[in-house]
Structure 1
Amino acid sequence: MVKWNEMRIRKRLVSAFSVIVAIFSVVSVIVVITLVTMVLQYTKVLDYYAFPQGNIGRLMNASAEVRSNTRAIIGYSDTTQVASLTSKHENRVKEFETYLEIVRPTMISAEGKQYISEIDRAWKAYITKDNELLELAASGTEEARLEAQGKMTTEAEPLYTALDEALMKLMELNVEKGDSTEAALTSLAIIMVIALIAVVIVAIIICLRIANYIARGIEDPLKNLGERLSTFSRGDLDSPFPVTDSQDEISDMIDEAHDMATTLQHIIGDMNQLLDGMAQGDFTVTTKKGEHYVGQFEHLLNGMRSTIETMSGTLTGIHEAVQQVNAGSDNLSQASQTLAEGATDQAASVEQMQATVITITEGINSTATKLKDAYDNANRYSELAEGSRDNMAALMESMVRISEASQQIGHVISEIEDIANQTNLLSLNASIEAARAGEVGRGFAVVADQIRALAEQSAKSVIDSRTLLEDALHEVAEGNSVAQRTSDSLQEVINGMGEIAETSKELSTVAADQALAMEQANEGISRISEIVQSNAATAEETSATSEELAAEAACMNELVARFKL
């Protein structure tokens, strides 16, 4: 099945109108069926429900209820039943009169009004007689009730019959009108169905014709416009656009397309004028149709202006660059000549530098050898100093042992001093005892004196020995301190010799590295010499190239001079 948006406009419009007509036809059929059903149902209501249970029927029913209640009232003697029936009787009377007033305005024909008048007279006569009978029966005696029952049959019944006949006449009149109305409704329904079918057929024909007319009015201009736009897309800007007599959106579309083509003609012509001027070298050319460049076309014009300005600026820059190249080529030629002359001088300087580097390299190698010897000597002296330090340590240990022996001698001298003191005391006691003995003890006194003299001499000797020993201990302590300082100094010497040895080793390594670096520098200088010689040759070639560049710059000046900037 083809989708709506895949159909042509004419087919789409015709199909749309066809769908609308089909829907309208279905609705019309439904309306006809509904109308016929309503007529049939209305006829059925008229036949079976409307008149028998209408207001006239309610009048007849109310009159019958009034008569029935009257008969019951005059027939019963029970006051309770009589009171209930009396209330119903009054309600039925009011009901009859109410329905009568409802029916009265509906009787607009002369015959209907006549029947209403008859009903009014018959009802008045009957209700008057009915009230008389009720009053008679209300006296409460049996004779009065029997009399009321007799009059009900002889007098009231004919009046009720006249009322019922008047109601039946009115009923028959309305039935006749109902029948005529039913026939009229049936005829009207048939006429309406036929008219509706005719209207549907005419509407279908008119809708299809209108659809075809509208479709052609839309399709033909759009088709012509599409064909013209097709040629327009292929570059045909001069052929005329189709003309339509309508004043609708399609006409506006064609006018807009024509305006668009005119604008594009102006823009393309102006672009051709600008490009032709640029092709001829005139970059001062300007637009003559600036008012047509609107919207996105303004970006096109700005882009063209930017292109012209950029090309003009570029060519101006090229011209200035050529001038600078021309001047630069002269400078380059002179600089190349100077470079060639300087290269020769550089070559001589490089040879001298190479000889100097060779000399420095030999000196560094000699320094490295001597530093190695110094390293070996430093190691040897460090070993000797280490041995002296060991000897000094042994000396310090001997000094410690001498100090300990001197202290032990001090203890011995102290004991000798105690002995001398005791000997002196003993000699003193001996002298005292000799003095006591007199002549007998004189010889003993002499011995005591000698012993005291010896004790005093021993004490003096002990004092002198102590002094000498203390001096010796002091000297030993001094010697020990000097030996310790000497040992510390030797340790510092040993450490210093080790550092000197390490420094000599590092310097030897550095000197070897420097010697290697100098050899590499010598090789680099050799390469520099070759490069300098190559630069001299290149400078001569550059001088020749600069002359060629000057010639090319002159040609470029001639080319740029052709453009109008």
Structure 2
Amino acid sequence: MAFTIARSLVAFGVAVSVGLFMSIGLQQSALERLKVNGPVYEQVVYGKDLIADILPPPLFVVESYMLSFEASKFPELTETNLAKIANLKAAYDDRRAYWKTTRLPQALKDQLENDVIAKGDAFWGVMNREIIPALNAKDEDKAHGAIEQLRVAFHSHQDAVEKLVANSDAFLKGEERNAASEIVTWTIYAGAAGFGSFALLLVGLYLLRRRAIIPLDGMKAYMGNLAKGDFSTEVPYADRSDEIGAMSKAVAVFRRNALERQDAQKRETALRDAEFERERSQLAEKAAEEQIRETVIAQLTYGLEQLSNGNLDCRIKTPFATAYETLRAKFNDSMDALCASMAEIAQTSKQVGSSSAGITDAADSLASRTEQQAAMLEEATAALDEMNAKAKDASDHAGKATGMMAETRTSAEHSAAVVREAIAAMERIEGSSSQIGDIVNVIDEIAFQTNLLALNAGVEAARAGEAGKGFAVVAQEVRELAMRSANAAKEIRALISTSSSQVSSGVELVNRTGKALLEIEGQVEQVAGLIARIVSVSSEQAVAIGEINASVNALDQVTQRNAAMAVETASACRALGSQTQTLEGVVSRFQIDAAASPSRSQKAA
């Protein structure tokens, strides 16, 4: 694969980019490791947090030890100190769980879990088992004995804490030294990568000038010489396989084409001279041919002049050159054929004239009969129009009768509904009369009872003597009222009976009226059906008459067109006769040999 300038530039760009990316990557890596919250910073923070947690609490239990000792000496502080001890125990458990999940170096983490936390758990075990129960029970002897156990556990834990603090301090100092060393190392790496990228850039620019810019200047100078017309030297850099070589090959093709174009111009000049000589000889030949052609044109011109003057007997007798002899023979044959044709035209025009006269007479007769037929059709059309108008008028009257019958049927239905409502009202009146009769019966019974009560009251008043006279008068008035009520009730009963009989008669009459109205309604529906049938038949007749009328109108139009065509035909025949006469006049202008015409006609046929 050829290593072109484009590929060189690509490789150079890739190399410079790789160097820049390496420099940037090294700087970014150093920054990631040494920045805040980076790995180095995180290890230093873990060390400081560890020391902060173990000196003093929460992982260092010195405060819990002091509080328990104080509570054993001063019982009044027991509750307060126990609450503080419980808070310290919660903080201890929280930090104990936190340090198990951190990324602390494994050596410090093992020492923390196996030594400090283990001995701290032992301390808190003594605290929970011995000290807190003794303090709650306010048992001083047991508390003093437990304090001794707690003291041993505390000092053991303290030794482990001091050892871990010393190790943590040493770890912090080592991490700080490592961080400083890494800063120097990464700075050197980044500087080396940047310097290498710059050096690579300089080398690439030098190679680009040597492989591209200098050859391009050389090609520019050579192409300037080509533009001036100097094709003597070979194209430089043609042996290269890159873009410069491709350009040189293209310029070489251009130089070769230019040289070939010069050779072609020389050959074209020689051919142009030979062509000039050949054209001179051809011009001489054309002059001779032109003389012969002028002779032929003169003879043909004379013959055509005779033809334009009407002389059909003109023939060309002088022979032409071999190339034009056929033209003379064709001219003579054409004159013979034209003479025969004109003779036939003259004869045919006479025959056409006689035939057109007969056609004209027949066309005039046809036009007259067609006009008579058109007049008869117009009369038939007028009669059909009048019949159609009467049929439509009958259909309209039948439609109006249908509407009136529909209104009559509606009125009959409304009357039937009114009769039904009257029957219902009569029935309600009859029911009300029955109820009134019941009420009157009740009133009659009440009057009868009142009369009995008044009679009993009169008897009792008579028995009472003077004291009951006033009461007797009242009883007598009540009896009279009861009797009048009974009489009124009888009269009302008689009236109700009469009213009931009259209502029954009215109901019967109304029922008969309803039946009559139903019969009328049925008859009205039958009449409406008959009228609807009449309307339908009238409509069908009107449609049929309209179709007949349309057909007659169409026939009338066709007849009128036929009459017009017959008139036009007669007019055309007259025009044909006049044109035939004109044609005979035109043919008579030509000079035709009468004796030779029949033989020429037969020969042409």
TM-score w.r.t. structure 2 length?
0.37
Larger radius of gyration: 1
